[in-house]
């Protein structure tokens, strides 16, 4: 599978109404083979993450953005669960705290970017400041519009300093979200996931789609590309994210560090 087909080409104009949310056109809805391929990519990720950690030179930042119920937590669990926790960290970004609001909006983000040898997954991110902030009119338009440029340069800085950046928009349709919210209401084991605020946010779906389109169009760059991931089916969503991450790690030409000189001589010193 050529996962580049999901990448937003820099300078292109995305219309999300025209973008498939099911993934069926790419995978012919072959779930069994898809799950087998996902398992292979999971093995690749486990191996490659170890080399990244050992090499201690490069960094990988993964950004997950989505409407409610699209499956950010599900991706983290399905793709990264079981990988050495020493080298993989998840940063969850909720509403800013008082001290965070006292700083510029990127301050709290920079604190969580990956160190050498690390993979960091952002569950929501700095993009909330051109999505939620925009939709709810939390700052004037002249302020949030400038943030596209800020974000591009912030991500360029990270990339220039050795961070590879992958950004995923988990794309579902409105009917899929409705069914998943109903499932949270009707299934006792999922009741804890339901928040009445999700209903109010759902009413703003058209505004969010416009905001996401602008974010994708304005901030998919050569150094920090966006991928639109069809997410109506969990296995498709997980396979696309795992495949893009694994193939990216392969392209990073990771190498184990050189061993100490004449390492075998130390065998005799072990008593």
Would you state the structure tokens that stand for residue 102, as one six-digit string? Answer: 């006292």
**Average pLDDT rounded to a whole number, residues 262-271:** 83
Is 29 a residue whose pLDDT tops 70? no
**Phi, psi (deg, nearest 5) at residue 39:** -60, -40
User: Would you place residue 82 in the very low, low, confident or very high pLDDT band (cuts 50, 70, 90)?
Assistant: confident
How many Cα atoms within 13 Å fall on the side-chain side of residue 5? Answer: 12
Share of the chain above pLDDT 70, in %: 100
Residue 254 · residue 54 · CB < 8 Å: no
CA distance 70 to 77: 14
Is 134 a residue whose pLDDT tops 80? yes
pLDDT of residue 246: 97
Is 77 a residue whose pLDDT tops 90? yes
Is 1 a residue whose pLDDT tops 80? no
pLDDT of residue 11: 92
pLDDT digits (tens, 9 = 90+) for 205-247: 999 999 999 999 999 999 999 999 999 999 999 999 999 999 9
Is 44 a residue whose pLDDT tops 90? yes
* Topology annotation, domain 3-105+112-172+198-254: Rossmann fold (3.40.50)
CA distance 169 to 177: 15
Average pLDDT of the residues of the chain: 95
Q: Which of 129, 6, 124, 152 minimizes the C-alpha distance to 66?
A: 124
Higher pLDDT, 103 or 263: 103
pLDDT digits (tens, 9 = 90+) for 151-194: 999 999 999 999 999 999 999 999 999 999 999 999 999 999 99
């Amino acid at each position: 599978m050529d996962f580049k087909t999901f990448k937003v080409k820099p300078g292109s104009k995305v219309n999300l109404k025209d973008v498939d949310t099911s993934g069926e056109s790419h995978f012919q809805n072959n779930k069994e083979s898809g799950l087998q391929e996902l398992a292979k990519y999971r093995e690749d990720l486990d191996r490659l993450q170890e080399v990244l950690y050992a090499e201690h030179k490069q960094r990988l930042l993964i950004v997950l953005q989505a409407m409610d119920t699209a499956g950010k937590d599900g991706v983290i669990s399905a793709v990264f669960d079981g990988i050495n926790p020493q080298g993989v960290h998840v940063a969850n970004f909720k509403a800013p705290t008082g001290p965070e609001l006292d700083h510029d909006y990127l301050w709290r983000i920079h604190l969580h970017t990956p160190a050498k040898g690390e993979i960091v997954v952002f569950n929501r991110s700095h993009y909330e400041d051109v999505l939620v902030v925009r939709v709810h009119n939390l700052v004037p338009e002249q302020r949030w519009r400038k943030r596209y440029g800020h974000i591009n340069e912030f991500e360029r800085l990270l990339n220039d300093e050795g961070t590879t950046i992958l950004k995923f928009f988990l794309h579902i349709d409105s009917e899929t979200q409705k069914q998943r919210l109903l499932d949270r209401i009707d299934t006792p084991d999922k009741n804890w996931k339901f928040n009445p605020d999700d209903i109010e946010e759902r009413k703003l779906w058209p505004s969010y789609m416009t905001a996401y389109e602008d974010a994708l169009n304005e901030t998919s760059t050569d150094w920090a590309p966006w991928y639109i991931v069809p997410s109506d089916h969990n296995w498709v969503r997980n396979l696309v994210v795992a495949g893009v991450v694994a193939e990216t790690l392969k392209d990073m030409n990771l190498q184990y560090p050189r061993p100490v000189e004449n390492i075998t001589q130390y065998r005799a010193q072990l008593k």
